[in-house]
Structure 1
Amino acid sequence: MGSSNSSLRQAPSSPSLAYGRLRFDSPKSQASPGRRLLQRAAAERDGLLVGSKATTKGGSMDPRTLVELVSSDSLQSVASPPLAVWIGPALLCALAYAFYNIFIKKGSASIHPILGGVVLQIVAALLGSLLLSYIIIQNSEDEENVLYWDAAGIRWAVCAGAAVGAAEILSFFVSSLGVQAMQSIPTIIGGSVFFGCVLGACLLHEVLTFRGWFGVFLICVGITLVGLEPSVEGGH
């Protein structure tokens, strides 16, 4: 072939195809920015990057080495970030869920549960589409912030959509039975904590210490006491 081969670049081992502003990645070629940041912090904490080729003279990480670390088995089980990093967004999410259930309770008496769930999902899809359009427009000139996804991500997003759709319909149904919001909301949210921990341990192979499982047990005791409370609904 001669010296003409010197101008050819070697194809990446984990290729991705770009179409416009969307990037289609193979399942192992892309980790989310938050996941990369968390794994880098864990690697630095555990001393995995000290004295290795992962750092340069300026202290920054070689991106190729970062991808290797992200896909390595040694960093697949990464400890949770500090509480101060995620507690704010988590509490805001909890507040949003509280309003979500309160609004369902308010409307459950005057709308069919399935219709209510469909309307709820349509509104959520419209708001999500507006936010997605804004992100695409804002990052139209930024090559680093493209929309990344692969077949596995789409598949799990579809499963999550089916699950949340069922949850919304069931929430309308439970509320339509006349259950107090002060009983139904703690039972639904607290129950999701229990099932989330069990499924996380069984399906995701995540780990909680005895203290964590004791906390889950206390949550179960709490929602049991709330559920057994006599239901005397006040005025609207």
Structure 2
Amino acid sequence: MRSKLLTTLLALLFALPFVLLALLAVAPAWRFPAALPAAYSLGALRDLVAADNELLAGLGRSVLLASVVAVVATIAGFALARAITRAVRPGRWEALSYLPYALPPVLLAVLIQPFIIRLHLSGSVGGVLLGLLLIAVPFATLLLRSFWTQQAREYEQLARTLGCTARQALWQVLLPLAWPLLRTALFQTFLLAWFDFGLTNLLSVGKVRTLTVQVFTYVGEANAQLAAVASLLLLLPPTLLLWANKNALLRKTE
């Protein structure tokens, strides 16, 4: 009985921010001290279907950036983790992977901005993508480092001994074994790029308006309704990813 009550209470606490955002999204004028909005309007939600809607454009940019970062960082992290394992001094290379996290993202963006400008990528999607990869690739490398154990190397050697080529050993042995960890790396690096604000806002110099940047812009403008709609859109892909991975998460818990 107590466990059910605690579960219900936690579910209500988890759902409360979503309910508040939903009310703000349909309340054009919700003033203190009113407990509930005096009027409701779907105007902000109807505007989402407009062809020139900036929120949908920001959603598309965010999905594109986060998806590319997740795929590239996971592939690069898998290869780099393998290279680190086979290095003469793997501990040194692993320690270097932590360097991007020794600084706040905004300070890191300030340090790399001169190089982004020299590459003529300032204020472009390519510049933001490069900056996000500098954070996501080391993260994926550290996460996937745990796969390359002695057992994984023995499986690879066994496959080669039985006649597999290097490509066959990779696709038919290593990748299926690493898939649960690869899926986690894809999920984590997607979220890392999806929710980034400081680095994206600085490197884009206001030209690449991702959904996260738009949320902060609307909050700064005191536009609560658009900020709530943008926040709900911001929470949509992570919620879908969590739903898609719920079986794997529940299996790990059990």
Q: TM-score higher than 0.5 here?
A: no
Under a length normalisation based on structure 2, what TM-score does the superposition of the two structures give? 0.32
For the pair shown, the structure with the greater C-alpha radius of gyration is 1
Q: Which has the higher helix share?
A: 2
TM-score of the superposed pair, with normalisation by structure 1? 0.33
